[in-house]
Amino acid sequence: MRCRLCDSDRLVSVLDLGATPPCEKFLTAAELDLPEPTYPLHLRLCEDCLLLQIPALITPEETFTEYAYFSSFSDSWVGHAKLFVERSIERLELNSDCFIVEVASNDGYLLQHAVSAGIPCLGIEPSVNVGAAARDRGVPTITAFLDQELARAVREEHGPANLLVANNVYAHIPDLVGFTASLRTLLAEDGWLSIEVHHALNLVTLGQFDTIYHEHFQYYTVLSAQRALATAGLTVVDVELLGTHGGSLRIWARPEAVAEPGERVAQVLALEAAAGLHEVSGYLDLRPRAETVRQELLRFLLEAKASGRRVVGYGAPGKGNTLLNYCGIRPDLLEYTVDRNPYKHGRFTPGTRIPVHPPERIDADRPDVVLVLPWNLEAEITAQLRHVTGWGGEIVYPLPTLHHATLDDAAASELAGRHTK
């Protein structure tokens, strides 16, 4: 096994989550009687370049041809994208002569705001069903994976991108060096590349182990992202810390010749160094943190079961499936979960086979406890579930440590969320 960034063979084990099915492979009722393949989920760290990574056992082609994740199902995510587009237009002085490209543009949740601002744009999205939803809302979208050939063809036909957006995709690429070169090909000589990825600082220090799944091949600090981007002559010039996905990085990079790194780059690097993440030992606390989450959650669910209380889930995100599989939670402990995405209704969670219903099911059933799986949306979801407390129901979040939501907490974290966006 070798590091996909620097080709070193010095990979050290950080956290072994066992073997699980792909986290978005929800099962139909008929599939419950078929074999369900599992793949090892073992996080390792390269001792030479400090890139956190898992082996690429499932190709993006297998994952993303028909994908269940539609970004527009999250209100806060669409709002986040709108604000990003508005601020980018202002900061980079974008106008109708410019060109915005988004890689992994999903259902057009972001580029729809470029369309309404009158700025030419193009989405590149591999999932057939998700890309079709983008075209339906008027966002020009190619169904494809980005590679050098496609990057050259897009540049030839439309010109280079003044703003190139790669949100929540830079972790999903097994050919990291080739993909980075394709980004460089698409980008104008004075262009801006904006990348959003989960920050490994939060993954490690807050024990967010459920953000590890087969589709996420690598997990970045600013340090390792700098090293990856440098392979294609791109320099990190600015870094923003975002509240999304439990703490993300927005990395701004530009071609070396025009790059002038701002002071926020050094500030975030200093935060990472202070947390011990510029050396191997800082990563080794993740395993005991994950074990604690598992033990606390299981103890809570077993006690609820013993006292005859009904526990159901809210949300069926990919991260939820890492959590459920690692903890070994099945329908005896979590009767069902609900999700706003109709694609998942009537299906079952991969591996743990917990039924997924529409959210209205909770109102009809009035369970004693609602365990929220997308804990990264705590403020938004607590607000949506406020009425559960009306019948005496509890709202519980598993991370960073098991805790109950309260209405006061919801208001407070909503405020905190606004500050970070």
Tokens (6 digits) for 227:
């090293």
According to the binding rule CB under 5 A, does residue 46 interact with Zn ion?
yes
Smaller CB separation from Zn ion, 48 or 147? 48
Distance of closest approach, residue 181 Cβ to Zn ion, in angstroms: 17
Q: Which stretch binds Zn ion (CB under 5 A): 45-53, 141-149, 251-259, 274-282?
A: 45-53
Q: Which stretch binds Zn ion (CB under 5 A): 39-47, 248-256, 301-309, 402-410?
A: 39-47
According to the binding rule CB under 5 A, does residue 6 interact with Zn ion?
yes
According to the binding rule CB under 5 A, does residue 223 interact with Zn ion?
no
Nearest by Cα to 115 from 142, 144, 147, 89 = 89
Distance of closest approach, residue 260 Cβ to Zn ion, in angstroms: 27
Exactly one of 3, 197, 236, 377 binds Zn ion (CB under 5 A); that residue is: 3
Per the CB < 8 A criterion, the answer to whether 128 and 73 are in contact is no
According to the binding rule CB under 5 A, does residue 200 interact with Zn ion?
no
Per the CB < 8 A criterion, the answer to whether 253 and 235 are in contact is yes
**Quick check: bond before 400 cis, omega within 30?**
yes
Alpha-carbon distance values, 120 to 87, 116, 344 (Å): 17, 10, 33
**Between residue 286 and residue 345, which ones bind Zn ion under the rule CB under 5 A?**
none
Smaller CB separation from Zn ion, 52 or 329? 52
Distance of closest approach, residue 7 Cβ to Zn ion, in angstroms: 7
Exactly one of 17, 45, 49, 395 binds Zn ion (CB under 5 A); that residue is: 49
According to the binding rule CB under 5 A, does residue 65 interact with Zn ion?
no
List, in sequence order, every residue forming a beta bridge with 240; answer none if it has no partner: 250
List, in sequence order, every residue forming a beta bridge with 253; answer none if it has no partner: 193, 236
Q: What share of the chain is helix, strand, coil (3-state, %, to 5)?
A: 40, 20, 35
> What beta strand segments (E) does 154-274 contain?
161-167, 187-198, 218-219, 234-242, 248-255
Alpha-carbon distance values, 140 to 34, 124, 170 (Å): 38, 9, 22
The site for Zn ion (CB under 5 A) is made up of 3, 5-6, 8, 46, 48-49
